[in-house]
Amino acid sequence: MQAVHRDSFPIMGTTASLHVNDEISESDFSYLSAVVHEELERLEEMFSVFRESSEISRINRGELHLLDASSEVIDVMDKCSWLEQVSDGAFSVRRSRNQVSINPSGFVKGWAGERVAGMMHERGLQHFYVGIGGDIVAHGGFTAQLPWQIGVIDPRDPSMFAATVEIVSGAVATSGTAEHGTHIWDPRNGEVAQSYLSVTVTGPSLMWADAYATTVFVMGSSGEEWLQQFDGYSMMAISAV
């Protein structure tokens, strides 16, 4: 099934897509897509470690104190700090415990996706989903009677789906090797996490589903039990062995 209105554009090192199945004009959808694109671009400019002017780059160079950063950066860093504590360091904005520089990109993508989905809902949309890379936040189903069907890419063959998730409102987030290869580090030892090829987490919030998927990917087999403490979240994983 395909939504009536669709658009996609590159952002945050991946691709964002908008899927709207409401009865709105093409011009209204084009304006909405431009607003979402502008907001995601604003957030990328704020958080990207690949942009020298970003607040994160300025913090890493010692030019900006975290407490003097924007409210968005402070909010993200507060949430990352909480998750680092509850995961015993399996999630961190630092690649290893010896590293000083920060990179919250493992959290920002889901946080940003949820943020722009909220903007769309505030504008009256009832049936839509937003995708950023492998992370999806949906609202209202394809119709009032039909859920959205979200395919989970198989990291062993990215041209195939490993599973299909039906969702009305909520989030589906996948961390793994399908899009960027081996790129998730265990900050506890500074080594590449290798227990899983992918971890998919579903739940009410994309911000947390995305962060939990990354955390479980790093934790390995103990991550499934760890995730059970968070109501409404569940997971599926593809093992590396």
Domain range list for the chain: 5-239
Q: Which tens digit of pLDDT belongs to each residue from 111-142?
A: 999 999 999 999 999 999 999 997 999 999 99
Contacts 24+ apart (CB under 8 A), 235-239: 235/199, 235/200, 235/201, 235/202, 236/152, 236/163, 236/199, 236/200, 237/196, 237/198, 237/199, 237/200, 238/154, 238/155, 238/156, 238/162, 238/176, 238/196, 238/197, 238/198, 238/199, 239/195, 239/196, 239/197
What length is written for the chain? 241
State the Cα–Cα distance between residues 29 and 137, nearest whole angstrom: 18
State the Cα–Cα distance between residues 38 and 105, nearest whole angstrom: 18
Under 8 Å between Cβ of 151 and 161: yes
CATH of 5-239, one of 3.30.230.70, 1.10.287.110, 3.10.520.10, 3.30.70.660: 3.10.520.10
3 state SS of 125: coil
Q: Which tens digit of pLDDT belongs to each residue from 11-66?
A: 999 999 999 999 999 999 999 999 999 999 999 999 999 999 999 999 999 999 99
pTM here?
Answer: 0.94
Q: Which pLDDT does position 232 carry in this prediction?
A: 98
Q: How far is CA 159 from CA 25, 149, 153, 180, in A?
A: 33, 17, 7, 14
3 state SS of 210: helix
pLDDT at 178 exceeding the cut of 70: no
State the Cα–Cα distance between residues 60 and 100, nearest whole angstrom: 8
